[in-house]
A = this chain, B = another copy of it.
Amino acid sequence: MSLAAVIEGTREAVRADAANAAARFSVGHTLVPGTATTVDVRVRDHTFAVDEPATLGGADTAANPVEYALAALGSCQVITYQFWAAKLGVPLDSVRVTVDGDLDLHGFFGFTEGTRPGFNDVRVHVELTGPASPETYADLKRQVDEHCPVLDLFANPTPVTTTLA
């Protein structure tokens, strides 16, 4: 099904019942026994690993959590470009996104108080190719940045509760 068809189908479903727009996502994580930092992740039928590089005590079997966070942002940008190009009828031949993030390890290790553990700066660099005008792609970018779920997650506070069994 084309993305334009997905957009129209979702619009009809949501118009019929707004509750059809409520989406719930669930992910399970288990520390692999005998390792320091290797995590087995399960999402629906998909599984993958998360780990740390040797400098952070891991076996480097996979990217680490903050790299996966940047990958969530970069891939969400790519896919939101695809959806909004389809929605607006903008031709798009290729999409590449690079995401860089800086953080200060004082925060994670608790070496100083008041240093946030997360990223203090994130930069997203987007490269598009296609036959439309630069103004058309600049308009597309504005729509993408307004509607990209993971960009919203990065830029704004999200209510999170943590509970310990």
Contact = CB atoms under 8 A, between A and B. Distances in A.
Contacts of A162: 77, 124, 126, 141, 145, 151
A160 interface: yes
A26 B7 CA distance: 32
A49 to B, nearest CB: 9
Interface string A27-60: 1111101001101010110101010111111000
Interface size class of A (residues with CB under 8 A): 35 or more
A163 interface: yes
A151 B69 CA distance: 11
A156 B111 contact: no
A152 B66 CA distance: 11
Interface of A: 1-3, 5-7, 10-11, 14, 18, 21-31, 33, 36-37, 39, 41, 43-44, 46, 48, 50, 52-57, 62-80, 82-84, 87, 94-111, 116-128, 137-138, 141, 143, 145-165
21 contacts: A14-B106, A21-B105, A25-B101, A26-B100, A29-B77, A43-B70, A48-B48, A65-B149, A77-B162, A83-B108, A84-B110, A108-B147, A109-B147, A117-B149, A126-B162, A127-B164, A127-B165, A128-B164, A138-B164, A141-B162, A157-B157
